[in-house]
Structure 1
Amino acid sequence: MSRTLAILCGALLLALYVALGALQDQATELATAQADHRQASARADSLADTLRLQRELVAAAAALDTKHTKELDDAKADNDRLRAAVAAGQQRLRVNATCPATSSSGRVVDAGTAELTPQARQDYFALRDELALSRQMILGLQDYVGTVCLR
């Protein structure tokens, strides 16, 4: 009987040893799976934050573009209104100039107010358009750098 009890105890110990080994393997797999899950969750959170930031930057850039495009359109509209008013004779472009004496008697001949020639007038309005465009490009780039790039 003691021999049977010894064999039974030995078999029981062997079964416990095998079960403990299997349990330890499962615990190791569980720990590895939990670590993988934590890594995946951290990566997903990081990607979500990156996506959120990217969306914010795109929205900020779009808002800046809209703002400066509107300002440029307004400047061009003002320039077009001025061009139309000059063409209609409602306004005049004046040049700060002096007229040298042209008569032999030494008197200054009154020839009226100095104005731009029609070609110079076109060039003037083209320069105003380019100045408005350049100004909005510079302001837009400055806003973009300050709002989007340095963020």
Structure 2
Amino acid sequence: MIITPLRLFLAVALTGLIPLFWFIQVVQDRDTARSERDFAQFEVSGLREAARISGEMLAAREEIDLQRTQELSDALNQNDGLRRDVNDGRKRLRLAASCSTAKPTQASAGGVADAGTAELTADARSDYFTLRDQLALSRQMILGLQDHVRRICLR
């Protein structure tokens, strides 16, 4: 059997083209894998940065919470101390009050009628201290929200 030059050329061409196509496919797969790897590394770096920022924001939030909780606790303890002092008589609440002068029904000698000091009733006193506690709580909540906006949201 004699191989004609055309058949020889076809056999050599096919033998050379098959590895060439295989090589081209391998190179394309390699390039695709590299681009996917680069994209994944980019995503990883972005996620790491997001995790770092989230961690910083959580730490800042915890710091704000701790500070405001401590200040609220101090204010409530101060109010409780004031309440005990008022109840025990060591301190008095200052009031802006005026006593109305009632016209006496009987004629009496001129003088000051039983001029006692103006004082809060027990109900009003407890309401006063409740309002002070609520004011301290509201103040710390507002300051905490302002700190949150300044230090975390506007970052």
Give TM-score scaled by structure 1 length.
0.86
Task: Tell me whether 1:82 sits opposite 2:82 in the alignment.
Answer: yes
- Identify unmatched segments of 5+ residues in structure 2: none
Greater relative contact order, per chain length (Cα 8 Å cut-off, separation 6+)? 2
2:150 equivalent in structure 1: 146
**What value does the CA root-mean-square deviation take over the aligned residues?**
2.2
Q: Give the partner amino acid of 1:61.
A: R
Distance 2:17 2:148 in 1: 68
Task: Tell me whether 1:130 sits opposite 2:134 in the alignment.
Answer: yes
Does the aligned pair in 2 maintain the 1:79–1:125 contact within 8 Å? yes
Does the aligned pair in 2 maintain the 1:60–1:148 contact within 8 Å? yes
Post-superposition offset of 1:35: 0.8
Distance 1:128 1:119 in 2: 14
Q: Give the partner amino acid of 1:137.
A: M
Number of residue pairs matched by the alignment: 149
Distance 1:145 1:21 in 2: 61
1:63 equivalent in structure 2: 63
Distance 2:62 2:110 in 1: 64
Distance 1:106 1:68 in 2: 57
Distance 2:128 2:115 in 1: 23
- State the identity as a percent: 44
Q: Give the partner amino acid of 2:154.
A: L
Distance 2:69 2:90 in 1: 29
1:46 equivalent in structure 2: 46
Task: Tell me whether 1:102 sits opposite 2:102 in the alignment.
Answer: yes
Distance 2:110 2:76 in 1: 45
